[in-house]
């Protein structure tokens, strides 16, 4: 592997371990990164750990250790607003929900107030099934992903997110 092809090992956090979040967790784990996660269902979180997808559970006090924190919950701005003080000032927080306007507005405002980087995201992949049991590491292979940065011509941020 060439030096230019080497990737740093990242610490990934995933909040919401359904089809979208679970698939993201599986993809990053397969790529060799440390992955921690949380789901509203403690059973799902424990299963994801037992299956080897997660290195451990993710509590909000640990959000700051994540280089990249995916928020894969139902589209609601409340999560971003309530947890903003816990997010890393050096990483990226990216939501993965299908609707963008309300979530991005709240995410950008919380990021300005609390000093973290927020990027809206929407992977253009999925299935008719839902839940962690249908998550797979290759769900996003070949699929585009819509990114909504706070400044649309911030090439450095887009490169980091990519």
Whole-angstrom CA distances from 37 to 49, 56, 86 are 9, 7, 15
Q: Could you identify the residue written with the tokens 């490169």?
A: 159
Name the nearest CA neighbour of 8 among 27, 40, 34, 36: 34
Confidence grade of residue 7 (pLDDT, cut at 50, 70, 90): low
**What is d(CA 134, CA 124) in angstroms, rounded to the nearest whole number?**
16
Average pLDDT over every residue of 91-109: 90
Q: In this structure, is the dihedral angle defined by the CA atoms of residues 88, 140, 56 and 9, taken in order, positive or negative? A: negative
pLDDT of residue 160: 86
Quick: pLDDT tens for 115-137: 999 999 998 988 889 999 999 99
Confidence grade of residue 86 (pLDDT, cut at 50, 70, 90): very high
**What is d(CA 2, CA 84) in angstroms, rounded to the nearest whole number?**
38
Of the candidate ranges 18-22, 35-39, 145-149, the one whose mean pLDDT is the lowest: 145-149
The pair of three-digit structure tokens given for residue 41, joined into one six-digit string: 């269902």
HSE, CB side, 13 Å, CA atoms: give it for residue 2.
2
The reported pTM is 0.90
| Statement: residue 5 has pLDDT above 50 | no
Confidence grade of residue 3 (pLDDT, cut at 50, 70, 90): very low
Average pLDDT over every residue of 89-111: 91
| Statement: residue 1 has pLDDT above 50 | no
Quick: pLDDT tens for 26-75: 999 999 999 999 999 999 999 999 999 999 999 999 999 999 999 999 87
3-state secondary structure of 13: strand
The DSSP letter of residue 103 is: H
Q: What is the largest CA-CA distance in the chain?
A: 43
The DSSP letter of residue 149 is: -
């Amino acid at each position: 592997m060439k030096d230019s092809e080497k990737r740093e090992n990242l610490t990934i956090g995933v909040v919401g371990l359904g089809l979208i979040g679970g698939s993201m967790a599986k993809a990053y784990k397969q790529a060799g990164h440390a992955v921690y996660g949380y789901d509203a269902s403690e059973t799902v979180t424990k299963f994801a750990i037992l299956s080897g997808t997660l290195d451990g559970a993710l509590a909000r006090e640990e959000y700051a250790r994540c280089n990249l924190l995916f928020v894969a919950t139902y589209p609601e701005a409340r999560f971003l607003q309530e947890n903003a003080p816990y997010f890393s000032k050096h990483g990226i927080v990216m939501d993965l929900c299908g609707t963008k306007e309300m979530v991005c507005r709240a995410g950008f405002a919380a990021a300005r107030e609390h000093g973290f980087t927020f990027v809206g995201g929407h992977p253009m992949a999925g299935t008719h099934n839902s839940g962690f049991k249908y998550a797979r590491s290759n769900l996003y292979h070949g699929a585009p992903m819509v990114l909504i940065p706070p400044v649309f011509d911030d090439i450095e941020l887009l490169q980091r997110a990519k």
